[in-house]
């Protein structure tokens, strides 16, 4: 089974809402909503809530319910069950760090827009064979960095990527300057110390600064 073109269009529409996606790990359920509010206040609406902790899904569900301006995706999707739960809570998209054949097949049949994780040309070919034209490149820096991503553009000119893993405020603009990059993911917008201390104003400032930094870089 191959993913429908309409679902790929919905993914493109979602990714057009923000070129930087904060990768968020929820350690305390009570942090989810104020953290999302802080990011939205700083101009960052597109959020990836990971399933790395037991609180990820509940935190995402709370954000979807209470922060309507946030556009929530579920990350660290490892199994068809994870994907089904993401769809059930109303997430707008889902991402995986890698992709098994079972997960790719489930994602092709599901209704939720999905970005499979790839780190090699063969993995990208597996994803593209099922109609996934946009993939998460992970771990971006460790898997070969910008040089590798540029090399993929030769045999796969139609493929688009969201690199994650080693993306920082300092190098995000360089990644985003690549024609085959539609967005980047990173955790620098939500420093663990600020989240733990409930410094939501600092999170808003990080988000606003990132937006301004990338606008400035694009104008140069």
CA distances from 212 to 153, 178, 202 (A): 28, 19, 15
Instruction: Judge whether 150 counts as a catalytic residue.
Output: no
- Around Cβ 51, how many Cβ atoms within 10 Å? 22
Report d(CA 160, CA 185) in Å as an integer: 14
Helix (H, G, I), strand (E, B) or coil at 107: helix
Here the tokens at position 139 are: 């771990």
Q: Which of 136, 169, 174, 212 is catalytic?
A: 136
Q: By the 8 A CB rule, do 29 and 55 touch?
A: yes
Pick the closest to residue 183 from 38, 73, 89 (CA basis): 73
Q: Which of 13, 30, 48, 169 is catalytic?
A: 48
CA distances from 179 to 3, 19, 146, 159 (A): 23, 13, 12, 10
Instruction: Judge whether 136 counts as a catalytic residue.
Output: yes
Q: By the 8 A CB rule, do 183 and 21 touch?
A: yes
Here the tokens at position 113 are: 């827009």
Provide the annotated active-site residues. Answer: 48, 136
């Amino acid at each position: 089974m191959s993913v429908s073109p309409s679902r790929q269009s919905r993914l493109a529409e979602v990714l057009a809402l923000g070129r930087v996606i904060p990768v968020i790990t929820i350690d305390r359920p009570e942090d989810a909503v104020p953290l999302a509010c802080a990011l939205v206040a700083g101009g960052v609406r597109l959020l990836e809530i990971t399933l790395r902790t037991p609180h990820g899904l509940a935190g995402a569900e709370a954000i979807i319910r209470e922060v309507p301006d946030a556009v929530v995706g579920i990350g660290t999707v490892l199994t068809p069950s994870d994907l089904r739960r993401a769809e059930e809570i109303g997430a707008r998209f889902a991402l995986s760090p890698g992709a098994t054949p079972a997960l790719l097949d489930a994602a092709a049949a599901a209704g939720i827009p999905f970005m499979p994780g790839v780190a090699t040309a063969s993995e990208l070919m597996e994803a593209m064979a099922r109609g996934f034209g946009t993939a998460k490149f992970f771990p971006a820096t460790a898997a070969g960095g910008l040089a590798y991503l540029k090399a993929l553009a030769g045999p796969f000119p139609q493929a688009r990527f969201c690199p994650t893993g080693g993306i920082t405020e300092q190098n995000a603009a360089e990644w985003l300057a690549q024609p085959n990059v539609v967005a980047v993911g990173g955790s620098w917008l939500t420093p663990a110390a600020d989240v733990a201390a409930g410094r939501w104003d600092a999170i808003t400032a990080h988000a606003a600064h990132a937006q301004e930094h990338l606008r400035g870089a694009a104008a140069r």
